[in-house]
């Protein structure tokens, strides 16, 4: 029965959460502004996918980068890439109207088929290179060179390992309809966990995810990969 459901687009309602109060749930579902100290206007703003927030904050901290602020769009947009370009544009324009000139977009193409690049060009902002975050964590060349060997792989980053239930299992409706598993994953043979950090608890989660999908588990430590270079370069631009 058609129930006249309408889509609630929550990408526009932002909430403000300091780094210590961030939750993966919020990063998945909400637009999150992450205030950084000092409170003065930041010199550089990163507009990112929520799936990258913790990693970006870690890079900022490790490299002691200053004058940077971070705003994230909900990671669930990943399943609706057609909404990403305009959501990013709105964030860029809002930042500009607050007087922040130096803006960088921490989104891969993410299935926008070049439309995000078009928006970045029109708005005069840079974007991290690559088709998706799996590729830039792994290293673009390394990822591409393994593409044939890993054709049957489902990739998980640390974030997706933590949010497997929300973004993948529930996102694909497998909680309600486990019978769809074969239609989704019938052609897959392994889960490749591209690990940003060494965390046994997270490894166990990723392995459990692979088990649930009936796939072999492979772990590959990537660290922050090319995200590290992009964020540190943005800081010195």
Partner 1 sequence: MSDEEDDIVLSELSNEELVQQMHDDLYDGLKDEILEGVDILLGRGWEPYKVLTEALVEGMRIVGIDFRDGILFVPEVLLAANAMKGGMGILKPLLAETGAPKQGKMVIGTVKGDIHDIGKNLVSMMMEGAGFEVVDLGINNPVENYLEALDKEDADILGMSALLTTTMPYMKVVIDEMKAKGIRENYVVLVGGAPLNEEFGKAIGADAYCRDAAVAVETAKEYMAQRLHNQ
Residue range at the interface with ligand B12 (CB under 6 A); choices 5-13, 38-46, 86-94, 147-155: 147-155
Q: Which of 51, 106, 116, 154 binds ligand B12 (CB under 6 A)?
A: 154
Q: How far is CA 167 from the centre of its chain?
A: 11
**Contact mark string toward ligand B12, 107..146, x via CB under 6 A:** --xxx-------------------xx-x------------
Q: Which of 151, 180, 204, 208 binds ligand B12 (CB under 6 A)?
A: 151
Q: Which of 12, 129, 142, 180 binds partner 1 (CB under 8 A)?
A: 180
180 is an interface residue for ligand B12 by CB under 6 A: no
Output the residue with the shortest Cβ distance to ligand B12.
Answer: 111
Helix 84-97, helix 115-123: angle, nearest 10:
10
Q: Which of 40, 97, 176, 201 binds partner 1 (CB under 8 A)?
A: 176
Cis peptide before 185 (omega within 30 of 0): no
CB 50 → partner 1: shortest distance, Å? 19
Buried-exposed string 89-122: b where 16+ CB fall within 10 A, e elsewhere: bebbeebeeeebebbbbbbbbbebeeebeebbee
Answer whether 167's CB lies under 8 Å from 75's CB.
yes
> How many CA atoms does the CB half-sphere of 11 hold within 13 Å?
24
Q: What are phi and psi of 130, to 5 degrees?
A: 130, 160
Enumerate residues 48-87 that contact partner 1 by CB under 8 A: 79-82
Q: Is the dihedral of CA 144, 148, 154, 158 positive or negative?
A: negative
Give me the residues that bind partner 1 (CB under 8 A), please: 1-2, 5-7, 79-82, 109, 111-115, 131, 144, 147-148, 151-152, 172-174, 176-177, 180, 183-184, 187-188
């Amino acid at each position: 029965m058609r129930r006249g459901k309408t889509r609630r687009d929550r990408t526009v309602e932002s909430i403000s959460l300091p780094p210590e109060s961030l939750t993966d749930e919020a990063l998945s579902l909400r637009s999150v502004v992450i205030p950084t100290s000092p409170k003065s206007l930041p010199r550089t703003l990163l507009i990112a996918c929520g799936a990258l927030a913790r990693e970006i904050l870690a890079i900022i901290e490790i490299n002691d980068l200053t004058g940077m602020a971070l705003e994230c769009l909900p990671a669930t947009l990943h399943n609706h890439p057609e909404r990403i370009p305009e959501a990013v544009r709105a964030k860029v324009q809002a930042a500009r109207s607050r007087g922040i000139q130096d803006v960088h977009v921490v989104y891969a193409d993410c299935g926008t088929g070049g439309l995000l690049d078009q928006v970045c060009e029109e708005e005069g902002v840079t974007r991290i290179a690559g088709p998706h975050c799996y590729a830039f964590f792994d290293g673009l060349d390394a990822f591409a060179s393994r593409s044939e060997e890993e054709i049957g792989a489902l990739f998980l980053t640390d974030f997706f390992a933590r949010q497997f239930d929300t973004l993948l299992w529930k996102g694909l409706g497998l909680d309600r309809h486990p019978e769809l598993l074969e239609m989704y994953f019938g052609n897959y043979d392994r889960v490749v966990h591209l690990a940003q950090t060494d965390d046994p608890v997270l490894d166990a989660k990723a392995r459990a995810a692979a088990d649930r999908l009936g796939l072999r588990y492979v772990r590959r430590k990537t660290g922050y990969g090319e995200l590290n270079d992009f964020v540190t370069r943005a800081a010195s631009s």
